[in-house]
């Protein structure tokens, strides 16, 4: 199925690029590393034991209200919001040259991993590029990353990806950054990079407040070709379950495979980044919240 929203575009100035990824107990990290890609959970087989319903009656009623009564049944037999019935984003379309695939040049060679995006905050005059640090090796830390990654070419997910849209220049030292496999939490899984020339690129603004349960947010990513369904807009509507400023949990039908897209931005209706997608357990997804991302960046820049 292909779905396309045609609305006015939101445009932001760009300057720096960020990347983030991680996994959680009970879920799967969606990544590919130079060692071995993590298997992605795509739902239970038809003959397996049905998954216990994790949603309260109040939450299901909230889903129905958001979808105009239209709920979908996922591969685990759970009732979840029908993505086709959720509202289109108020900001219109995803800005071009804001979300990227990156071909990384590293100490272990060249490879592509995950999704990255340009993030604009009040901490820097230019935007930075972000993705999941666990993409660069299970045990790699934020202090080791600058010596591991030399540079990389970035490619807009909305483009034809035949010509590079920019060059990663250097990594920001983030001493408190670790992949989930080290820290056991999404709140440390973040990597940030400077881009050589951000002119013509679009930085996405960071939200100041956590989301509330029931908020509709949008996962911005180009799904893997093996996904049973995808949207041309590269925007996938999700419903927030919880957001404590460190971890954000949300629901997106598991017919949309989020394999290999950890690091993708989560946007609110105003086009602000509310988190970074990390992994999933069926239709239940989770990520790193905006407020924790801001604090990690501020610490790395010696501003907090």
Residues 238-257: pLDDT tens digits?
999 999 999 999 999 999 99
In whole angstroms, give the CA distance from residue 248 to residue 261: 16
Range of the domain at 82: 68-92+206-291
130 and 174 housed in the same domain: yes
Q: Where does the pLDDT of residue 20 fall: very low under 50, low under 70, confident under 90, or very high at 90 and above?
A: very low
At 50 the pLDDT is 62
In whole angstroms, give the CA distance from residue 211 to residue 213: 7
26 and 146 housed in the same domain: yes
Does residue 63 fall inside a structural domain?
no
26 and 172 housed in the same domain: yes
Q: Which residues pair with 280 in a beta bridge?
A: 28, 285
Quick one: tokens of 256? Answer: 């949309």
Cβ pair 16, 168 in contact under 8 A: no
CATH number of the domain bearing residue 146: 2.40.10
72 and 195 housed in the same domain: no
Which percentage of the chain shows pLDDT scores above 90? 69
Handedness of CA 165, 171, 176, 179 (dihedral sign): positive
In whole angstroms, give the CA distance from residue 132 to residue 192: 9
List all residues 6 or more positions away from 286 whose beta carbon is below 8 Å from its beta carbon.
24, 27, 186, 247, 248, 249, 250, 278, 279, 280
154 and 213 housed in the same domain: no
137 and 275 housed in the same domain: no
How many domains is the chain built from? Answer: 2
At 117 the pLDDT is 98
106 and 154 housed in the same domain: yes
79 and 152 housed in the same domain: no
Compute the average pLDDT of residues 112-118. 93
At 37 the pLDDT is 36
The upper half-sphere exposure of residue 157, i.e. CA atoms within 13 Å in the direction of its Cβ, equals: 27
At 140 the pLDDT is 87
At 29 the pLDDT is 56
Does residue 10 fall inside a structural domain?
no
168 and 150 housed in the same domain: yes
119 and 197 housed in the same domain: yes
Which percentage of the chain shows pLDDT scores above 70? 83
């Amino acid at each position: 199925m292909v779905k396309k929203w045609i609305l006015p575009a939101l445009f932001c100035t760009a300057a720096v690029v960020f990347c983030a990824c991680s996994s959680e107990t009970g879920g799967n990290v969606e990544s590919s590393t130079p060692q071995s890609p993590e298997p992605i959970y795509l739902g239970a087989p038809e003959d397996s034991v049905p998954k216990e319903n994790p949603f309260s009656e109040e939450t299901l009623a909230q889903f129905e209200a958001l979808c105009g009564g239209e709920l979908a049944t996922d591969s685990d037999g759970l009732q979840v919001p029908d993505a086709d019935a959720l509202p289109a984003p108020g900001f219109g379309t995803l800005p071009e040259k804001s979300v990227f695939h990156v071909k990384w040049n590293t100490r272990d060679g060249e490879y592509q991993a995950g999704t990255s995006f340009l993030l604009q905050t009040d901490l820097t005059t230019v935007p930075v590029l972000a993705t999941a640090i666990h993409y660069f090796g299970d045990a790699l830390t934020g202090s080791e990353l600058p010596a591991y990654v030399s540079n990389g070419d970035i490619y807009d997910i909305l483009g034809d990806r035949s010509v590079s849209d920019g060059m990663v220049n250097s990594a920001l030292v983030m001493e408190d950054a670790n992949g989930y496999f080290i820290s056991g939490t999404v709140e440390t899984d973040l990597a940030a990079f400077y881009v050589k020339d951000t002119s013509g690129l679009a930085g996405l603004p960071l939200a100041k407040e956590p989301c509330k349960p029931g908020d509709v947010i949008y996962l911005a990513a180009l799904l893997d070709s093996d996904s049973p369904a995808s949207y041309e807009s590269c925007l996938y509507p999700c419903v927030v379950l919880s957001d404590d400023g460190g971890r954000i949990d949300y629901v997106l039908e598991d017919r949309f495979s989020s394999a290999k897209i950890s690091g993708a931005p989560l946007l609110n209706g105003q086009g602000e980044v509310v988190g970074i997608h990390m992994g999933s357990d069926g239709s239940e997804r989770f990520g790193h919240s905006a407020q924790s991302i801001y604090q990690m960046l501020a610490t790395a820049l010696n501003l907090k």
